Structure 1
């Protein structure tokens, strides 16, 4: 019999399991500190509000998603935090004139970034779906509108992929196609399917994976090209002059390959008759990224980006990469039963404890190539999404859209 649920947590928590629970609660406390009348603010290293960044849509949506999960995982107070996020996404960040959501508003709630980006709208859909699954007031209405906007403005039925971005009034699409935004659309589509029971979301997610992983990543030896023309021709030299861009860096990004590996396992579990290659693709993506990026330059940690000969380009260590690596290893271990993935997870949890935790409620977001604190690409600690996902999955907690088939099947 096929099981799509994680194995239950041990009845007697291990020290590691207790630490995971402590970390989840700490990350939610950090999210509370970011609460702002118009959403969730950017926080500095010390947890103070950094007003220079304004209130950003992707942070507000991700914080809302995490708060909804925390409520599902037993944190009763987090329901209020998730409700605040839902209200913010239906408030100042929402474009009442043209529809969709602004990328950023200032401290007074006035739009200061009016483009409509697929990356950010993916997180609105994710937040709405997770909040709906957690029975947060207002979430079903938010989900209905997010569904309409994503399907009408971003989803391209002909290509089976999502458009990247538009101007405020939806008149001019960006002349670019991005793998990163499509990856997060896959995540959001799986959550939307879990929240609504609509299997069409899973079918769309599979089409995105077929192109980006089954065709493109596979053709490049499981090194995923991130940047494309609007017609989905690869742009391998894109942003060579800006190699440390936080969202569109040059080369290939091992952290995204690792994140995709986990998502493919969830995509498999969401389909009664899933393509048999999904787990094969997941393992190939994971192994290629780890082999080429982990501890490549004399110190532990994942290099942020590599060129097309697998030489490190940006050697900085991002917290989100090792968080996703630990999460993917946990998921692949549960799916395959391989001790290799168990050993990987243990190695990376040890790295997180040693290098990223420093007694504050959120992890350091960036380290240099020798694992010293750094702030070249990311300043402060604005995000809890990757850390919460990793700790929740490692603890065996259920997340809508993140089902895993048992290794026994």
Structure 2
């Protein structure tokens, strides 16, 4: 990505602004507190493994960028993963714990993928205990969730690893690809790269079969369930229909996989990334008369949930930047400029900090799906990916000084 000095400067300033906003996340009982709109921690809300892991990842990367005070914050998040959120009896990680440290929820592939990502970034940042955490997290994710037949990760076990749910989901596998790439950077284990490619190959096949609108929900045999949650279309983790932001996120993730594979990369990777991007833009961007991406569409591209989620705009920026880095096509630079302008105009909260996590179809702050601003992961990465190479991943690139 060729950026003007002014734009590069804005990205750096926004990285710093976001990291400043999240500094109050450590919960006094361990893990990451849910942050309110103004950045204050809600100490009565549950502490989630996925939020804690994302904070560990973000502040480990910040440590590698020499951000003052980032190291202790990364360590606090990692301590939550080795402490209160870790299931010492059965192994693995609780989905969440209550304000009184009572475990809640099942064991999910989504959560465990983020623990791998956090541990890999912590390892590359040389944070205490991160390497041992990565070993355990990889062993658990692969040992409990990997299904060799379909070459995909299962989605959900009960807390004692006794019953595997029949539901299968693409979202957990998307984040597992990111986690496998980070783990490869941290360990050099070839099986991590092999799994990332296998998952991506199945996903690209699904895209071709469905006009590049990716099915998200499946049964135990990996048969798509296209009507899943039709009655709950705005579910925060399993919404009905095609999720526009996930097509953009897959587009962005395919490119570092291709770059890491090098000469061994199959030739379908780049066309798949471009097709997913094109479909997401055609279906999702400003299709209802206002700027912004709709959240989900039906299988013919008709918008279903028209709320604007901050993470979708973040992934759009990252995907456009990555595709421009890969291809040099000026169209991607133009999209990057369009969406950066949109974020600055509508998504940034310059009074309270961070990005509004949700806007209504008129681009006004809303909380129909998400309350507060608990998540720095998408926004911070959107400020870093345009400044980074396609490979290695963000933490490894920061470790070698390759992020501009």
- Residue 53 of structure 1 corresponds to 45
Q: Which of 364, 374, 383 is the equivalent residue of 2:375?
A: 383
Identify if the C-alpha distance between structure 1 residues 30 and 399 changes in structure 2 by more than 3 Å, giving closer, same or farther: farther
Residue pairs, 1:299-378, within 5 angstroms: 299-359=290-350, 360-378=352-370
- Residue 225 of structure 2 corresponds to 235
Contact 1:257 1:285 in 2 (8 A): yes
- Residue 59 of structure 2 corresponds to 67
Q: Which of 221, 227, 235 is the equivalent residue of 1:245?
A: 235
* Structure 2 Cα separation of the partners of residues 200 and 250 of structure 1: 33
Q: Which runs of 5+ in 2 are unaligned?
A: 398-404
- Residue 204 of structure 1 corresponds to 195
- Residue 402 of structure 2 corresponds to none
Report the more deviating stretch, 153-162 or 29-38. 29-38
Q: Which of 143, 154, 173 is the equivalent residue of 2:164?
A: 173
Q: Which of 183, 186, 194 is the equivalent residue of 2:174?
A: 183
Q: Deviations over 1:218-237 (max 9, x none)?
A: 11011100000011001000
Q: Which of 253, 257, 264 is the equivalent residue of 2:247?
A: 257
CA-CA distance at 1:400 after TM superposition: 4.7
Q: Which runs of 5+ in 1 are unaligned?
A: 1-6, 405-409
Contact 1:130 1:400 in 2 (8 A): no
CA-CA distance at 1:399 after TM superposition: 7.6
Q: Deviations over 1:18-48 (max 9, x none)?
A: 2111111121122211111311111111222
* Structure 1 Cα separation of the partners of residues 44 and 305 of structure 2: 26
Q: Which of 213, 216, 219 is the equivalent residue of 1:223?
A: 213
Report the more deviating stretch, 52-61 or 309-318. 52-61
Aligned-pair Cα RMSD in Å: 1.6
Q: Which has the higher contact order (CA 8 A, sep 6+)?
A: 1
Report the more deviating stretch, 264-273 or 92-101. 264-273
Q: Deviations over 1:189-209 (max 9, x none)?
A: 000000001121010011111
Q: Give me the TM-score of the superposition, normalised by structure 1.
A: 0.93
Q: Deviations over 1:39-95 (max 9, x none)?
A: 111111122222453111110000000001111122142111111111110001000
Q: Give me the TM-score of the superposition, normalised by structure 2.
A: 0.94
* Structure 1 Cα separation of the partners of residues 137 and 231 of structure 2: 35
Q: What SS does structure 2 have at the residue aligned with 1:314? A: coil
* Structure 1 Cα separation of the partners of residues 308 and 105 of structure 2: 31
- Residue 4 of structure 1 corresponds to none
Q: What SS does structure 2 have at the residue aligned with 1:364? A: coil
- Residue 185 of structure 2 corresponds to 194
Q: Deviations over 1:237-263 (max 9, x none)?
A: 000000000110000001000000010
Contact 2:157 2:163 in 1 (8 A): yes
Runs of 4+ in structure 1 deviating by more than 6 angstroms, as ranges, are none
* Structure 2 Cα separation of the partners of residues 125 and 119 of structure 1: 10
Equivalent residue pairs, number = 393
